[in-house]
Structure 1
């Protein structure tokens, strides 16, 4: 949790907060953790950790694997994610349009949601002949090194943008100046072209562009991105062909959501 997201501790229910911290220990690259590893990540005393692990296991949010001798995320987390995804009408509206574009470019089209200092995949369309790795829905993605992240940061209010930049400098000293330069490039691209470029900062072998919705939905910001391999023929026609199609997709979704607040 970044400093911009640390709430007033007097308002927290400590046991609930500790349980959430345990769940946050798991990630797409660390989805099997021993009690010792969880304890090291959370700093919780063993008796407290043991009670919380037992409670989370009882509710199916984690489970202990005898085969691995470790804890893994439980099916209960999937149950919790279902209503979150279901309420996002934008997914249902965008999905066929995304798939059509992904097939056309033989690449990948992504719908990403940003809130505070986090962004995650909400929908992913993989082209029939795409060679690009397909992440899972819900996986967090880089803000500073992607076209999608720059589209997001350029969309949020100035005060939140500044807070993110302060946190970035604390975590990665010296990176703020570089990122601000990329943000300015992205702002110029959005103003003149209607999309942001990725500059191959995250994956050197992938060309990516992103287009944000012009307004947030319930304080959540939405971006669409298209990715193709740099060695592909499609990479050569990003500006003149793929970008206009992605912009048209976004405007179509905006129109389908309704005006002026994209009520869903």
Structure 2
């Protein structure tokens, strides 16, 4: 029963991944004849392509933002909602709502919010005329930060749900014992509750890294991943489906993204295997 899913996984996931690695060493381009070119594609993306390093920086910025803002915000929401406050289920639904929406739809919603003509933010700032309105998504110096707000809106709800699951599963006796020993709420969380969330923390680390690397929908809906919103994932689509159908070069970008993504995944699996061996 395990063999059939493994075969399906190999055929639909690992087979195309291996083929992508091969194509990255070729000049595959649409229906034209394919020739092996060695590491030419990797040399080009590293030394020539003007969009590659900005895309790397934006992916790193995405990861930093998720780490220092979205994850702590999700943890804070989870801790507050775990206090059994009145209407907590309603609040959970509100904060989790963005997670249920597709990222493309989230991008469209925020385009309305950021609109220079009738957007909510410009309206609050009283910049209602086209001459003084802030072009949040058109300005290459602002749009990456504007899109990161959209991503945080969704990611915080996702992290909140994961931490809520961990908090519900933690033993309340430990917190009661800490309270009897005189620990305040801050000390109880960091010294008693937080250590029990280690499995959840491991999952969130992996999810955060993967989500920041595969970020695509929001920037592609906004402007196709150009003009200050370059990301590696968007570049892959641009190269393979854009003019020229540079499949070989797009595959090289995909391999770079795959290698970077495998680092946290392998680290997570190694840690899980070590924990199982200790048991």
Regarding TM over 0.5, the answer is no
More contact order relative to length (CA 8 Å, sep ≥ 6): 2
More strand by share: 1
What is the TM-score with the length of structure 2 in the denominator?
A: 0.25
Larger radius of gyration: 2
More helix by share: 2
